[in-house]
Amino acid sequence: MIVFVNDEKVETSASSLEELLSGLQGLPEYYSVAVNDEIVPRGTYASCVLKENDCITVFAFMQGG
């Protein structure tokens, strides 16, 4: 299936958000995720079923001043 992660086309066999994220390289230590512009609570990544052409956005936390 094809999904888009931070606007990059990704081919995956993952059926859940948790599976997809576990296979991605270079994720920051702390992050949040949205699927199709809706924030997904961390505790529900395993039950978040992905569909063809879903848009996943990974937000990294940054400290600023």
| Secondary structure class of 63 (helix, strand, coil) | coil
Q: Is 65 within the bounds of a domain?
A: no
pLDDT tens-digit series, residues 29-47: 899 999 999 999 999 999 9
- Write down the H helix ranges in the chain: 17-23
Counting residues of the chain whose pLDDT is more than 90, the rounded percentage is 85
Determine the average pLDDT of the residues in 11-25: 96
Q: Please answer whether residues 53 and 3 qualify as being in contact, where contact means their C-beta atoms are separated by less than 8 angstroms.
A: yes
- How far apart are alpha carbons 63 and 29 in whole angstroms? 13
Q: Is 49 within the bounds of a domain?
A: yes
Contacts 24+ apart (CB under 8 A), 9-13: 12/50
Q: Residue 15: what pLDDT? A: 97
**CATH number, domain containing residue 17:** 3.10.20.30
Q: Is 36 within the bounds of a domain?
A: yes
Q: Residue 53: what pLDDT? A: 99
More confident residue, 65 or 29: 29
- How far apart are alpha carbons 18 and 36 in whole angstroms? 16
Q: Residue 63: what pLDDT? A: 76
